[in-house]
């Protein structure tokens, strides 16, 4: 228990209370990486979750771990009807929608601007930015009449600085921040908050592919990230999940239109252009690498 001063009164707060008890969330990109870490954290905090992802086998396996608390739905976030179906499933199964976590993403097309295929640019933008737009759109149609809700969208430190991601990735992640703020300005009057999270280097299959060439080398990836971190710590999916849980909870009731940077101080030191100088190619979900 802890004591908190409110005006001239002191009230007790149970620090062990599950902050998301009774809440319902849709998490896109839920089958692996940050998405899977957030599913674990949200369920631990008491939420029911619709896990939406294009990776069907991994998503089904994740849902099986939690029984009735998690329901998987195969979702391509570039397809509006599939995003809408994930939102509808939340209402059908659990009766409401308290949090929409627009998290699905890929690194996408990498390489110099002059060598970037337009088709792969379009695919990257569709997943990283259009997918967030669709999540916001369909969350809003449920949350506005409900009079409450939290929309969280995954940006990146590449949405803060140039030189930390590829051209398409950087453009999209900057766009996510702008969209999160714009949505906040509209939906605030309906009791709906919109925020973005900007993760720094985080250990996932995708970043393992980037740093080691093998999506399975998570431990080696973590060691490398820790050695380059200002804090000597490798970011893990659970670090981003903790930020998402905070933004989804009533603890963040006054946090709106904000970008929560979770990077150990990475954005204080600038970018290194590694995604522009590398490639060319297309880095897809779960570290799948298509070279040209």
Q: Any idea which residues carry the catalytic annotation?
A: 156, 169, 173
- Of 97, 73, 105, nearest to 150 by C-alpha is 97
Q: What is the C-alpha to C-alpha distance for residues 40 and 23, in angstroms, rounded to an integer? A: 14
Residue with tokens 């939906």: 187
Q: What is the C-alpha to C-alpha distance for residues 50 and 65, in angstroms, rounded to an integer? A: 13
Q: What is the C-alpha to C-alpha distance for residues 192 and 203, in angstroms, rounded to an integer? A: 31
Six token digits for residue 125: 């933008």
> Is the Cβ–Cβ distance between 72 and 65 less than 8 Å?
no
> Is the Cβ–Cβ distance between 11 and 22 less than 8 Å?
no
DSSP for 219-242, written as a single string: HHHHHHHHHHSTTS--B-HHHHHH
Pairing of the two strands 70-74 and 48-53: parallel
Residue with tokens 């674990």: 40
State which H helix or E strand residue 74 sits in. strand 70-74
Helix (H, G, I), strand (E, B) or coil at 286: helix
């Amino acid at each position: 228990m802890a004591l908190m001063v409110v005006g001239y009164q002191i009230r007790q707060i149970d620090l062990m209370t599950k902050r998301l008890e009774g809440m319902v969330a849709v998490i896109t990109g839920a089958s692996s990486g940050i998405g899977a870490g957030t599913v674990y954290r949200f369920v631990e905090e008491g939420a029911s979750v619709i896990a939406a992802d294009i990776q069907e086998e991994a998503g089904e396996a994740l849902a099986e771990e939690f029984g009735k608390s998690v329901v998987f739905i195969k979702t391509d976030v570039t397809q509006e009807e599939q995003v809408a179906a994930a939102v509808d499933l939340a209402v059908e199964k659990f009766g409401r929608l308290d949090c929409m976590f627009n998290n699905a993403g890929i690194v996408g097309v990498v390489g110099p601007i002059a060598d970037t295929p337009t088709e792969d640019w379009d695919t990257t933008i569709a997943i990283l930015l259009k997918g967030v737009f669709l999540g916001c759109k369909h969350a809003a149609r449920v949350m506005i009449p409900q009079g409450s809700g939290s929309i969280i969208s995954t940006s990146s430190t590449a949405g803060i600085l140039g030189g930390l991601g590829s051209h398409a990735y950087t453009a999209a992640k900057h766009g996510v921040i702008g969209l999160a703020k714009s949505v906040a300005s509209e939906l605030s009057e309906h009791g709906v908050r919109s925020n973005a999270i900007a993760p720094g280097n985080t250990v996932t299959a995708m970043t393992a592919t980037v740093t080691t060439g093998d999506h399975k080398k998570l431990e080696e990836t973590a060691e490398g990230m820790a050695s380059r971190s200002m804090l000597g710590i490798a970011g893990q999916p659970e670090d981003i999940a903790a930020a998402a849980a905070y933004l989804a909870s009533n603890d963040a009731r006054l946090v709106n239109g904000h970008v929560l940077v979770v990077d150990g101080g990475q954005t204080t030191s600038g970018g290194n252009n590694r995604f522009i100088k590398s490639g060319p190619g297309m880095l897809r979900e779960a570290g799948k690498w298509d070279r040209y």
